[in-house]
Amino acid sequence: MIVTVLVVAALAALVLATARLLLGPTLADRVVALDLALAASIALAGAAALVSGQPRLLDVAMGVAAVSFVGTIAWARIIERLARRGAP
C-alpha cells in the first residue's frame, strides 16, 4: 500500500516537473523542474528496490542522487554567471 502511494506521488511529481520543464518561463524554473524530476526518479528506484527485493536498485538511486546534486550545483553557477552578465 505504501509503495503504491509512493509510486503514484512520484509519477505525479514527474508529470508536473515535465510540464514545468517544458513551460518554465526562466532557466531557473527549468533547473528546479529537472531537479524535481530526478528526485522523483530516485523515489521510483527506491520503490522498485522495495518491490523487487533487489538492493542494487538503491545503488542506482544513490548514483542518480549524486549526479543530480552535482548537476544542480553546476546549473546554479551557470545561472549566477548569466545573471552577472545581464543575460535575460
**Residue 24 has what pLDDT?**
87
Its domain, for residue 60, covers 2-85
Domain count, the chain: 1
Cβ-count burial 48-71 (b if 16+ within 10 Å, e if not): bbeeeeeeebeebbeebeeebeee
- The answer for residues whose C-beta is within 8 angstroms of residue 54's C-beta and 6 or more apart is 48
C-alpha 86/C-alpha 4 separation (Å) is 46
Q: Is the pLDDT of residue 88 over 80?
A: no
Per-residue pLDDT of 41-84, as tens digits, reads 999 999 999 999 999 999 999 999 999 999 999 999 999 999 88
Which backbone phi and psi does 36 adopt, to 5 degrees?
-65, -40
What is the pTM for the complete model shown? 0.87
Is residue 1 very low, low, confident or very high in pLDDT (cuts 50, 70, 90)? Answer: confident
**Residue 87 has what pLDDT?**
64
Q: What is the CATH number of the domain that holds 66?
A: 1.10.287
